[in-house]
Every structure is written in C-alpha cells, then in structure tokens.
Amino acid sequence: MSSTSLKFIDDKKLQVAEEPKRMYVGQEWVEIYAEAELPTRYGNFRIFVFRNSIDAKEHVALVRGNPLETQNMPVRIHSECLTGDVFASLRCDCRQQLEMAMTDLGSHNNGMLIYMRQEGRGIGLGNKIRAYSLQQFEGMDTVEANLHLGFDDDLRDYRVTAMILKMLGAQTIQLITNNPRKINGLRENGIGIAERQASLVQPNQHNAEYLATKAQKSGHIIPHIHELSPKRTPKK
C-alpha cells in the first residue's frame, strides 16, 4: 500500500491505518491490501480490497462515509454471482439485489457493500453451473442439486466478513438481508446488528422457483415469495 493511501485512511480515522493494517483472530488474519476512490453510476464510493489467510480470495468493500462515526450503518453483504451480477442471468435475483443495494447506499451518505467472492454460496462457479444442469435436466431445486453434488446448501463462512467489518471500524450495523443465517453468522463472529432491512425483489418466470426454494427450504424471509407454490417438474 502506498503512503498516499495510508494517509487517506488516517484522514478517515480508521484504526486500521496504524501498522500493521492486518487484523489477527487467533492464527488467522485479514488485511487491507489496497484502497482507492471509486466513482460509480450509483454514487462515489471508496473501494477496499482485502486479502486473508482463510480462503485466499480477494474480497471487496465499497464504503460511503466513516463507519467509525456511524451507528446503525446500512450494510449489504453480497456474495459474488458471476452469472447474475455480470451476465444479468434471470435464474437468480442477485443482480436485482445488488442494483437495489447500490442504489440505496449511493443515495445516502453512509453505507457499505461488502462483496464476498464466494461464488455459488461457496461451492464455486463450476459447481454452481453443475447444479443448474441438475435443476434443468433432473428437476431438482437448488438445495437438492447442491446436496446431490455433495455440498451443504450454504457453505458461506462469515468469519472473514466479520473481520472485514471490524477492520473498517463498523460499530452496530443495519443489515440489508432476507437471510437469517447471515445475521446469525455475523453475530456469532461479534458483529452487532441493530436491525434488519429487507431486500425484496419481484420474481420473474425463471427465478420464481429458486426464490420459493430460498423461502421454503433455506429460511429466507421473503413473504411475497413464500406464497408462491413452486411449479416443478415431477420427479420419477
């Protein structure tokens, strides 16, 4: 990291400015590897790139305002979805949720988007597409397909996310999520969540079933989806 960026962090009174910019929890560590300003079509953010010893992935935070001085900072934790976020896939609701969060955060002075590079809820891109194939040809839902491939329904690990939030100086946060597991995962790792803000999107014909599975099997709080009865290919 250059001295310029160090000064930048100092200016914002982030405690991580003091060397080392690495946080340890036991033997594990997370560090701020790089940061810069990032103007986007949703507004101006500061982008931080983190490295860590747990999953060896470069996770990202987009920050508006100073987390150290903000109580109940709105935070969206988004898991990478190449097909949705980049290619605008209609099989899931990731891009809609990302755009909604960026629009929301960009319209306020304080907020953070933590972008975790844990594709396919942690199973990786290749396995996510294998799961799509099982859904397409075998009539499985997301949970069944993941289990069929030998994975838990959700392999996301919130240790690194919590360490990132702490490094950025987050006090209590307001988490934008429908997923109670995310709230529990962060709380278990010492993050104070004052309240939950729902992130509800309209389903389309391709993702209605996926959303219904999220609501019915994975415990996501999406009341307008819960009512939908998934139309599934009957299993033999």
Catalytic residues: 154, 156
| Lookup: tokens for 202 | 């309209």
* Composition of the chain by helix, strand, coil, percent to 5: 40, 25, 40
Calculate the CA 224 to chain-centre distance.
22
Rule CB under 5 A: choose which of 73, 77, 92, 186 binds Zn ion.
92
CA distance 97 to 180: 16
Stretch that binds Zn ion, among 53-61, 64-72, 87-95, 227-235 (CB under 5 A): 87-95
98 binds Zn ion (CB under 5 A): no
Q: Residue 19 carries which DSSP code?
A: S
Q: Which is nearer to Zn ion, 81 or 225 (CB)?
A: 81
81 binds Zn ion (CB under 5 A): yes
Stretch that binds Zn ion, among 63-71, 92-100, 114-122, 192-200 (CB under 5 A): 92-100
Q: Which is nearer to Zn ion, 131 or 167 (CB)?
A: 131
101 binds Zn ion (CB under 5 A): no
186 binds Zn ion (CB under 5 A): no
CA distance 35 to 56: 18
Look at residue 105 and give its three-state secondary structure: helix
Calculate the CA 161 to chain-centre distance.
9
Q: Which is nearer to Zn ion, 62 or 92 (CB)?
A: 92
145 binds Zn ion (CB under 5 A): no
The count of chain residues that interact with Zn ion, using the rule CB under 5 A, is 4
Residue 149 identity: L
Chain residues binding Zn ion by CB under 5 A are 81, 84, 92, 94
